[in-house]
Amino acid sequence: MTERLAMYIDTSKCMACRGCQVACKQWNDRQGYVPGVRETHNVGTYENPLKLDPQTWTRIKFIEYDDGERFQWLFMKEGCMHCTNAACADVCPTGALKYGPYGIITFERELCNGCGYCSQFCPFHIPQLEVINRLTGEAKSSKCVFCQDRTTNGLKPACVKTCPAGALDWGDRDEMIAKAEARVEVLKNERGFPKANVYGKTQLGGLGRIYVLTAPPEVYGLPADPKYPAISTLWQKIVQPVGQAVFGATILGLVAAFFVARRNVHMEEVE
Amino acid sequence: MSVRLKGTDSAIMIRWIPKYTTVERFLHWVHTASFIPLALTGFVLFAPWLEPLAQGAAGVTIRLIHRIAAVFFGGVPIIYAILQPRRMVLNLKEFLTFSQYDLLWLKGAFPYYVLGRHEEMPPQPRFNTGERLTAIVLVLGTLIFGLTGLPMWFLKGVMPVWLFQLAVIIHDLMFIITFAMFMVHFYLAVVHPMMWQSLVSMRYGVVSESYARAHHAMWYYGEKRAKEMWEQHRREAGH
């Protein structure tokens, strides 16, 4: 089996410094504050930006959660999950998104034609389409690639390297799972988080992000059981092959019909 | 029009009957000139083995051609409705009119078009059963292409993703149906030896009197007379 690497994300240790967001933008050359273009407005939350966008591949989500017993302020690092069964890579007609080494869903921007299927089929709504011109359809997809240029050369992703709280780690996926499970036991038994759990171990064939959560996944906006889009399977495994078979059969049928008709039709009788 | 036969004094007189208006013929060819690029560029995203054509700048161009052609394709029915609304309504009504002869036509179509046996074909109005079914699929197809294509173009990221996914698959299904239909249409109109007059009619707007009599008797003779002739023909043939 080829080695599968994963990102370990311990939300209980995250202090929302957002150093990961900054490091991501720096390494991947994403825009931050651009006067007149990308500005920050206070809308009553520390969360910033308010959602992923083509320039923001990862961000810390702020969640205020009251479970009835106590109030928690939760921080969760959001970004591409690098699924084992990745709908985005399956629907991509260009091969810009593909299953790369170490289980990373890599992205080659110059191959992307901007169709945006990835953004519409991802169960986590992660890929962001940078629409350059709505009318002509010119666009580019954009998402976290686990710093493919770093990680395929033995380095850690920029966000992991910068995290000062020890909330992030990078390494062999099985080791990351073991680390997460051990951490969950500590949180449950010693730190008073009875609902602590590991997320990402089994979802969609196993995610490339292994989360340690202190509340149920839904609280973070993570689907407990994300579904691979059924329409993607129907589309690519049935409709496309059947369509090509229909076209082939029609052509063959017409060629055959032509030769039969040519033998049988007497042109002197044709009106 | 008269055709003088070589080396003789005799001439063949052909009476031509108008079938299509100039606007209809022009729009038919605009439709053709937009449908083919639409189908070819759509096929690039449809067939995985055409991936190299979908990549990067080539893919951007292909998607742009698809959009430009779509404007013409969608413009055809709109221009038609503006220029000749009465003809459009007349045609739509004819498309939706079916009779007992249509089942007979469907039964006779294969022996007729493939084996060349035309004696069993029942009388047909200006459009035969196959043409009317094709036209209905085409009208519905154009609507569905528009209703799925325009949102995918302008509302991507705004509309719910499940709706987008549904639009993608419906657009593809419609493509399979209409493109297969187009190939049959092309075969019958351009390739098939018996149907040489269809190209003439789409170029000059007319069909010959003998063609109209043989293929569209209910149009040529009127419904009542054509039916009487068909019944008589059946009696004589010993049915």
Mean pLDDT of A143-168: 96
Domain coordinates of chain B in residue numbers? 84-236
User: In chain A, pLDDT over 70 holds for what percent of residues?
Assistant: 97
The amino acid sitting at B70 is A
The mean pLDDT of B90-112, rounded to a whole number, is: 89
Residue A270 to residue B196, Cβ atoms within 8 A: yes
- Mean pLDDT of all residues in B213-217: 87
Q: Across residues A150-154, what is the average pLDDT?
A: 94
* Pick from B123, B94, B128, B108: nearest CA to B228: B123
Please give the sequence-ordered ranges of beta strands (E in DSSP) within chain A, or none if there are none. 5-10, 59-66, 71-78, 97-99, 105-107, 128-133, 138-142, 168-172, 197-199, 209-213
DSSP state of A68: S
- Of A35-44, A213-222, B86-95, B166-175, the one with minimum mean pLDDT is A35-44
pLDDT of residue B171: 96
The pLDDT tens digits for B110-124 are: 888 888 776 678 888
Nearest to A271 among B46, B114, B210 (CB): B210
Residue of B nearest to A240 (CA): B46
Mutation pick from B161, B186, B195, B197 vs chain A, by most beta carbons of A within 10 Å, is B161
For residue A242, list chain B residues with Cβ-Cβ distance below 8 A. Answer: 176
- Report DSSP letters for B25-64, one per residue: HHHHHHHHHHHHHHHHHHHHHH-GGGHHHHSHHHHHHHHH
Contact A235 B156 (CB under 8 A): no
Q: Residue A114: which pLDDT band, with cuts at 50, 70 and 90?
A: very high
Q: CA dist B56 to A61, A122, A136, A141, B60, Å?
A: 33, 21, 14, 12, 6
Mean model confidence pLDDT for chain B: 90
Does A116 reach chain B within 8 Å, measured CB to CB? yes
Using the beta-carbon criterion (under 8 Å), do A111 and B62 form an inter-chain contact?
no
Does the CB of A251 have a partner CB in chain B at under 8 Å?
yes
- Give yes or no for residue B106 having a pLDDT over 60: yes
Is there a contact between B193 and A116 if contact means CB atoms under 8 Å apart? no
The DSSP secondary-structure symbol of A174 reads H
Q: Does domain A5-220 have CATH number 3.30.70.20?
A: yes
What mean pLDDT comes out for the span B30-52? 94
- pLDDT of B239 strictly over 80: no
Q: Give the domain ranges of chain A.
A: 5-220, 230-269
Closest CA–CA distance from residue A171 to any residue of chain B (Å): 32
- Cβ neighbors of A89 (< 8 A, separation 6 or more) are A97, A98, A99, A105, A118
Contacts of B139 (CB under 8 A, 6+ apart): B77, B92, B95
Q: Which residue of A has its CA nearest to B111?
A: A261
pLDDT value of residue A110:
95
Token pair of B221, please? Answer: 């003779």
Q: Which residues in chain B touch residue A250, judged by CB atoms under 8 angstroms apart? A: 180, 183-184
**pLDDT tops 80 at residue A12:** yes
- pLDDT greater than 80 at residue A79: yes
In order, the DSSP letters of B101-129 are: HHHHHHHHHHHHHTT---TTPPP--SS-H
Q: Do A271 and B211 touch (CB under 8 A)?
A: yes
pLDDT at A1: 46
Give the three-state DSSP class for A172: strand
Nearest to A114 among B60, B176, B210 (CB): B60
User: What whole-number distance in Å separates Cα of residue B11 and Cα of residue B30?
Assistant: 37
CATH value of B84-236 in 1.10.760.10, 1.20.950.20, 3.40.470.10, 1.10.300.10: 1.20.950.20
Per residue in B156-199, pLDDT tens?
999 999 999 999 999 999 999 999 999 999 999 888 877 778 88
> Is A240 at the interface with chain B, CB within 8 A?
yes
Interface of A with B in 179-238 (CB under 8 A): 229, 231-232, 234-236
Given a cut of 70, is residue B3 above it in pLDDT? no
* Statement: residue A96 has pLDDT above 60: yes
The C-alpha of A249 sits at a distance from chain B's nearest C-alpha, in angstroms, of: 9
B42 and B66 Cβ atoms separated by less than 8 Å:
yes
Q: Give A189-193 contacts, CB < 8 A, sequence gap 24+.
A: A191/A12, A193/A12
Instruction: Please answer whether residues A181 and A59 qualify as being in contact, where contact means their C-beta atoms are separated by less than 8 angstroms.
Output: no
Does residue B6 surpass a pLDDT of 70? Answer: no
The answer to whether B148 touches B178, Cβ cutoff 8 Å, is no
Average pLDDT over residues B14-22: 90
Q: In Å, how far is A163's CA from the nearest CA of chain B?
A: 32
Residues 51-110 of A with CB under 8 A from B: 93-96, 110
pLDDT above 90 covers a percentage of chain A that reads 84
- Residue A269: pLDDT above 90? no
Strands in A163-208 per DSSP E? 168-172, 197-199
pLDDT at A104 over 50: yes
| Bridge partners (DSSP) listed for residue A131 | A139
- How many contacts does A have with B, using Cβ atoms within 8 A? 141
Give chain B positions within 8 Å (CB) of A111.
55-56
User: What per-residue confidence (pLDDT) applies to A33?
Assistant: 87
Contact A79, A126 (CB under 8 A): yes
Quick check: A268 contacting B, CB < 8 Å? Answer: no
Under an 8 A CB cutoff, do A239 and B176 touch?
yes
Q: Burial letters for B118-137: b for 16+ Cβ neighbours within 10 Å, e otherwise? A: beebbbbbbbbbbbbbbbee
pLDDT band at A140 (very low <50, low <70, confident <90, very high): very high
What average pLDDT does range A211-224 have in this prediction? Answer: 96
Q: Is B199 on the interface with A (CB under 8 A)?
A: no
Nearest CA in chain A to B160: A120
Q: Collect all residues of chain B within an 8 Å Cβ-Cβ radius of residue A110.
A: 56
- Is the Cβ pair A246, B168 closer than 8 Å? no
Q: pLDDT tens, A31-76?
A: 988 888 888 888 888 898 999 999 999 999 999 999 888 899 999 9
Least confident stretch, A12-21, B4-13, B185-194, B204-213 = B4-13
| Residue B1 pLDDT > 70 | no
Whether residue A101 is predicted with pLDDT greater than 90 in this model: the reply is yes
- ipTM of the complex as predicted: 0.90
Q: Which residues numbered 98-157 in B keep a CB inside 8 Å of some CB on A?
A: 113-118, 153-154, 156-157
B193 or A2: which leads in pLDDT? B193
